[in-house]
């Protein structure tokens, strides 16, 4: 056997192993038989003193409403467990993740995804990957008037989230909305808003069986916005005003509860 063939076989073996590990990892987290294992890894996103102070004050309890939101919502689809997620805060990481491509090129996006997964592996300091553990890198930024944060993202392959958040205690509720949104991306949930940020009807609306122009008090978590009684597009103030809609429930594999609750409406 030639060296070229050996090299091809090794590459095919590595690819098969990566596919197998990805399938196993998704099977673990999407089974809903045990709490999700979630690591929050803070990063000073703008090298500001305010972000440094916010990171120093972080506690796992700051993310309790994410667990409460998940527990409440999965129960609506037939999955009842006392704890939906075990969230821990790890030590701050000082390196910044690679920036995603700006032009939406498929090849550039694939290459960036591979670079991000390699960057995450290097930050872990472990020889072997931690299967089934969701890793959310939260970059904290000091708020600036009129300056929006970079777009956050979540990857199903690798169970990785990169979240941009405000280093302001008054923003904790909305920060957790964004974190929960990206967490659900790692489980397979898709965005449910249009290019202008408007929720897509009906899957991007709470109570999707209601007419589109009926004002909503809550937002579908993967839309991230709701249209209020004044017709304005607003972000919910906390996860108490968010729900997991039926399509998102299906995407994250809450299938048994999904079938039980919505079989009559099909």
Question: What pLDDT does 9 receive?
Answer: 63
pLDDT of residue 266: 46
Three-state SS string across 155-170, please?
A: ECCCCEEEEEEECCHH
What's the token pair of residue 137? 């890198």
Residue 26 bridge partners (DSSP)? none
The domain spans of the chain are: 34-188, 191-266
Query: What's the residue count for the chain?
Result: 266
Residues 34 and 153: beta-carbon distance below 8 Å: no
At residue 111, the pLDDT reads 86
Q: Are 40 and 62 in contact (CB under 8 A)?
A: no
Distances (CA, A) of 188 to 13, 30, 173, 222: 26, 9, 23, 11
In terms of Cβ atoms closer than 10 Å to its own Cβ (0-12, 13-18, 19+), residue 145 is exposed
Which class is 34-188 in CATH?
A: alpha beta
Strands 160-166 and 153-155: antiparallel
**pLDDT in tens for each of the 266 residues of the chain?**
676 666 656 666 555 555 555 656 677 788 888 899 999 999 999 999 999 999 999 999 999 999 999 999 999 998 888 889 999 999 999 999 999 888 777 888 888 888 998 899 888 776 666 678 999 999 999 998 877 888 999 999 889 999 999 999 999 999 999 999 999 999 999 999 999 999 999 999 999 999 998 989 999 999 999 988 888 899 999 999 999 999 999 999 987 655 655 555 44
Supply the pLDDT for residue 229: 81
Beta strand spans in 143-245 (E) = 153-155, 160-166, 219-220, 226-227, 233-234, 242-243
Residue 85, strand partner residues: 36
């Amino acid at each position: 056997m030639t060296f070229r063939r050996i090299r091809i076989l090794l590459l095919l073996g590595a690819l098969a192993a990566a596919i197998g590990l990805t399938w196993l990892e998704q099977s673990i987290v999407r089974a809903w038989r045990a709490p999700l294992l979630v690591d929050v890894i803070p990063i000073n996103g703008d090298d500001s003193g305010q972000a440094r102070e916010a990171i120093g004050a972080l506690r796992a309890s700051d993310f309790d409403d994410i667990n409460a939101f998940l527990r409440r919502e999965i129960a609506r689809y037939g999955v009842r467990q006392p704890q939906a997620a075990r969230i821990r805060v790890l030590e701050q990481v000082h390196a910044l993740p690679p920036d995603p491509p700006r032009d939406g090129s498929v090849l550039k996006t694939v290459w960036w995804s591979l670079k991000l997964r390699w960057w995450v592996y290097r930050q872990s300091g472990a020889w072997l990957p931690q299967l089934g553990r969701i890793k959310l890198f939260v970059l904290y930024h000091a708020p600036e008037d009129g300056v929006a944060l970079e777009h956050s993202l979540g990857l199903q392959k690798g169970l990785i989230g990169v979240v941009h958040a405000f280093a302001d205690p008054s923003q904790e509720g909305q920060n957790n909305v964004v974190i929960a949104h990206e967490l659900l991306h790692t489980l397979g949930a898709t965005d449910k808003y249009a290019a202008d940020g408007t929720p897509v009807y009906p899957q991007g609306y709470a109570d999707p069986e209601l007419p589109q122009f009926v004002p909503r008090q809550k937002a579908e978590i993967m839309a991230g916005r709701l249209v209020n009684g004044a017709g304005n597009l607003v972000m919910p103030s906390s996860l108490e005003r968010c729900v997991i809609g039926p399509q998102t429930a299906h995407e994250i594999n809450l299938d048994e509860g999904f079938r039980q609750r919505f079989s009559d409406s099909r």
